[in-house]
Amino acid sequence: MALNYVLSVVIVLTCVLCYHNSYYCGFVFDDISAIKENRDLRPHTPLINVFLNDFWGTPMHKECKKLRQRNVEEYLESQLQNEGLDQDSMDVCLLK
């Protein structure tokens, strides 16, 4: 039991040390198009669009066929819980 606790603490501390400097950074690379510009993440967009569009919100029939619905659902869920696109909350969501 104590060994499991120690290992858990070591893993958590390692993760915190590796990623602490990125917490206050902005979106980078494809995060901008996948999160900030993704129309599927807007509150007024029908939920069915999550299943019809790819990870970046592009209709599946137009672009590549990558489908990552669960990631987009998590972003949408986080946005709805926070009543808007909050950078800090989105960073935490990405670390799940």
**Does 5 map to a domain?**
no
**Does 4 map to a domain?**
no
Instruction: Answer yes or no: is pLDDT of 66 > 60.
Output: no
Domain count, the chain: 1
**Does 20 map to a domain?**
no
Instruction: Answer yes or no: is pLDDT of 54 > 90.
Output: no
**Does 17 map to a domain?**
no
**Does 86 map to a domain?**
yes
By residue range, what is the domain housing residue 68?
A: 27-94
Instruction: Answer yes or no: is pLDDT of 11 > 90.
Output: yes
Dihedrals phi, psi of 8, to nearest 5 degrees: -65, -45
**Does 7 map to a domain?**
no
Whether the Cβ atoms of residue 55 and residue 34 lie closer than 8 Å to each other: yes
**Does 15 map to a domain?**
no
Whether the Cβ atoms of residue 51 and residue 57 lie closer than 8 Å to each other: no
Mean pLDDT of 8-24: 88
pLDDT at position 13 is 95
Mean pLDDT of 69-96: 65
Of 4-13, 17-26, 65-74, least confident by mean pLDDT is 65-74
User: Rounded CA gap, 1 and 54, in Å?
Assistant: 43
